[in-house]
Chain A
Amino acid sequence: MRDEMRLTMNAIAENEYFARVTVAAFSAKMDPTMEELSDIKTAVSEAVTNAVVHGYDGKGGSVEIRAEIQDEWLEVEIEDEGIGMDDVGQAMEPLYTSRPETNHAGMGFTFMEAFMDELEVTSTPGQGTKVKMRKKIERPAVLHSKKRSVR
């Protein structure tokens, strides 16, 4: 099975919900479990929030989301044209936050890594950041042993 979707939206906090629900709905045809759906929603939410909060510093801009299904792999790319990062490695360290004075847990990348199978982050200061994540959605066993979602 192959399919693809693209979504360009304003980088505003209200759209974080829209982004994660849209990608989850797109992935539904892969017949993911409830837990896999929740993994996808969390990872997308983290990446889009990073674009809104850090990429554009809450000032708005545009976020592009591309999702692709290739057989049992779901690939999601979330790209902004915001301020980018000097040190991607440091940003990805658990509990690191560029804004310790605010209510940020510093766990965004940790959750993306935990909930997806592959994570690749590329960033150019002044030009933006691209997060590419892949997740394998196991095909249902013949006997449908796992609990499956309806949507």
Chain B
Amino acid sequence: MEYRIVRSILFVVPGREIDHFQAETIIRYTEGLLRQQCFRLLVFDLADTVFMDSAGVGMMIGLYREIRAWGGAVYIIRMQSGVRRIYRMAGLHKIIPCYEDEAQFLAAVEGGGAGDER
């Protein structure tokens, strides 16, 4: 798991597999960062993530609820096909939009797209 902060946006890079064990760790650290600094944009960078089960879904919904408390939003970039299946099946696309890469995400958010205004 890694974090990077770019222009007040919190990027979370969860690693290869998001299961219950990994999800607990990611939730703990991310919640801490969110509460400290009240990020309005949280982005999961799933470039290296090849596995996610329902615990990963729960993690994303949980952090979505957290950040919604102060009007923030959650996004996914660089999602792989294995994870995409779970994303669709769980209906996550209704609350967490997905972008091809960071450039496309930044263009959409900074262009007044799906980002801050909601």
Of the four ranges (under 10, 10 to 19, 20 to 34, 35 or more), the interface on chain B belongs to 20 to 34
Residues in A neighbouring B27, C-beta threshold 8 A: 103
The DSSP consensus for interface residues of chain A is: helix
Given known contacts A103-B27, A103-B58, is B53 in contact with A14 (CB within 8 Å)? no
- A76 contacts the other chain (CB 8 A): no
Segment among A65-73, A81-89, A107-115 that sits at the interface with chain B: A107-115
| Cβ-defined contact, A105 with B90, below 8 A | yes
B90 contacts which of A14, A17, A34, A107 (Cβ < 8 Å)? Answer: A107
> How far is A1 from B51 in the complex, measured between Cα atoms in Å?
29
Q: Which A1-24 residues have a C-beta within 8 angstroms of B?
A: 13-14, 16-17, 20
Q: Are A17 and B21 in contact (CB under 8 A)?
A: yes
Interface size on A, residues (CB 8 A): 24
Q: Is B108 interfacial (CB-CB < 8 Å)?
A: no
B113 at the interface (CB under 8 A from A): no
Q: Do B58 and A105 touch (CB < 8 A)?
A: yes
The smallest C-beta distance from B35 to any residue of chain A, in angstroms, reads 15
When distances are taken between beta carbons in the complex, the residues of chain B under 8 Å from A114 are: 89
Chain B residues with Cβ under 8 A from A102's Cβ?
58, 62
Given the known A-B contacts A13-B24, A49-B19, A49-B20, are A103 and B62 also in contact in the complex, defined by CB atoms under 8 Å?
Answer: yes
Complex contacts, B59 vs chain A, CB 8 Å: 103
Whether B53 lies near A46 (C-beta < 8 A) is yes
Whether B51 and A41, one on each chain, are in contact in the complex, defined by CB atoms closer than 8 angstroms, is yes
Which B residues lie within 8 Å of A108 (CB)?
A: 53-54
Interface residue B96 (Cβ < 8 Å from any Cβ of A):
no
| In the complex, chain B residues 10-66 whose Cβ is within 8 Å of any chain A Cβ | 17, 19-21, 23-24, 27, 51, 53-55, 57-59, 61-62
Q: How far is the CB of A80 from chain B (nearest CB, A)?
A: 15
> What chain B residues lie within 8 Å of A53 (beta carbons)?
20
Q: Is A124 part of the binding interface, using a Cβ–Cβ cutoff of 8 Å?
A: no
In the complex the two chains form, what is the Cα distance from A52 to B23 in whole Å?
Answer: 14
The answer to whether A42 and B53 touch (CB under 8 A), given A17-B17, A103-B27, is: yes
A–B complex contacts, Cβ < 8 Å, 12 sampled: A13-B20, A16-B19, A16-B20, A17-B17, A41-B51, A46-B53, A46-B54, A102-B58, A103-B27, A103-B58, A105-B55, A105-B90
The 10 closest A-B pairs by CB, nearest first: A103-B62, A13-B21, A105-B58, A107-B54, A105-B57, A103-B58, A49-B20, A45-B53, A105-B54, A104-B58
Sample of 15 further A-B pairs with CB below 8 A, known A38-B82, A104-B54, A107-B90: A13-B20, A16-B19, A17-B19, A17-B21, A42-B53, A45-B20, A46-B53, A52-B20, A53-B20, A103-B62, A105-B61, A107-B57, A111-B54, A111-B89, A114-B89
